[in-house]
Amino acid sequence: QVQLVESGGGLVQAGGSLRLSCAASGRTFSSYVMAWFRQAPGKEREFVAVINRSGGSSAKADSVKGRFTISRDNAKNTVYLQMNSLKPEDTAVYYCAAGPTYESTWSFYDYWGQGTQVTISS
């Protein structure tokens, strides 16, 4: 099965930026739709962004539009989440996920990383 490992999380002040990376094992990375989700303390896992297999199309949650950008480099088996203008409300564990369809619902994804903590101070 596919293994995913997130990195790039940390502590940053409101208004700052972070770039998350998710490295995937396997030879068929380009066959998967990739997505980012996040989960804040006491809250449900929330969709953040999704990108199609080629990287030519993407979609984002309304809460992050204009601030976050999802991208992928299939040659490096890596998907990224560029996070700008960060807000305290963005504090969460961020997870990358792989699945067969272009969806914003967590249940459509088959493989998940372990998560990386993002903390935004006010």
Given this model, what pLDDT does residue 26 score? 78
- Model confidence pLDDT, tens digit, residues 95-119: 999 999 999 999 999 999 999 999 9
Q: Give the pLDDT confidence score for residue 94 in this predicted structure.
A: 98
- Residue 48 · residue 61 · CB < 8 Å: yes
Give the Å distances, CA to CA, from 36 to 31, 122.
17, 23
Sign of CA dihedral 64, 67, 15, 118: positive
Q: Residues 57, 13: contact at Cβ < 8 Å? A: no
Q: How far, in Å, CA of 91 to CA of 46, rounded?
A: 12
The pLDDT confidence band at residue 22, using thresholds 50, 70 and 90, is very high
Q: Are 74 and 55 in contact (CB under 8 A)?
A: yes
DSSP letter string, 21-57: EEEE-SS-GGGSEEEEEEE-TTS--EEEEEE-SSSS-
Give the pLDDT confidence of 42-85 residue by residue, as tens digits.
999 999 999 999 999 999 999 999 999 999 999 999 999 999 99
- For residues 72 and 97, give the distance between their C-alpha atoms in angstroms, rounded to a whole number: 13
